[in-house]
Amino acid sequence: MAPPKTFHGARALVYRAGPTGTKLMGTFSTFSYGLNYDVAPVPILGRHSVAELVYTGSEPVRCSATGWRVVGNGPHVAGAMPHLGQLLTADYIELSVVDRQDPTVIIAHIKSVRPESYSTTIAAKSLTEVTHTFVGILVDDESGDNIEAPLAADI
C-alpha cells in the first residue's frame, strides 16, 4: 500500500535557519502562512466591467505559529525574537515546513523573515500557549522557487 499523499499536521515539522544554523523551531500546535499578490482592476470608458486585471506587486508573507510555552525555550529563543538592543544588528531568518514522511520535501520555505511579535495568555487550569508572528519576503513550495524575474531591482 502506498503512503498517503494528503499532508496533515502530524507530518509537519517547522524548522528555523539563521546565523546559528538550522534547528527544529518549537512545540507548535498550529502554523499558518499566506501569500498575497496585489491585483489592480483596469476600468475603461465605454464598458461596465473592468477590461483587465493586472498584477502590480507582492505583499510580504505573513506567518503565525502557536504552541506550548516551554520554560527555558521562550519567545526570544523558540521564536527567534531579538531583544530590543539587538534590533539594529538582527539577521534575517528562514522558516521551513518539512514533510516528516519524506524530509526532502519542503512544503513551504519562507525567505528573509523577521520575527514581528509574540503574545501569550496565562490562565488558571489551562496550558499556556504562545503565538509568534513573522513577516517574510518570499515563499517557495514543493512546486519550485518563487523568485523575482531577471533584472529586478535590489538594494
Q: What is the pLDDT of residues 76-96, one digit of tens each?
A: 888 889 999 999 999 999 999
Give domain status of residue 147, yes or no. Answer: no
pLDDT of residue 24: 83
Q: Quote the CA–CA distance of 12 and 152 in Å, as a whole number.
A: 33
Whether the Cβ atoms of residue 96 and residue 15 lie closer than 8 Å to each other = yes
> Going by C-beta distance under 8 Å and a sequence separation of 6 or more, which residues neighbour residue 94?
16, 17, 18, 109, 110, 111, 112, 113, 136
Counted domains in the chain: 1
Q: Quote the CA–CA distance of 53 and 129 in Å, as a whole number.
A: 42
Query: pLDDT by residue (tens digit) across 115-151?
Result: 999 999 899 999 899 999 999 999 999 898 988 888 8
Phi and psi (nearest 5°) for 31? Answer: -145, 125
What is the domain range of residue 135?
Answer: 10-141
Question: What does the angle CA 75 – CA 78 – CA 81 come to, to the nearest 5 degrees?
Answer: 50
Question: What does the angle CA 21 – CA 101 – CA 95 come to, to the nearest 5 degrees?
Answer: 30
The pTM (predicted TM-score) of the whole model is 0.87
Give domain status of residue 66, yes or no. Answer: yes
CATH of the domain at 106: 2.30.110
Give domain status of residue 135, yes or no. Answer: yes
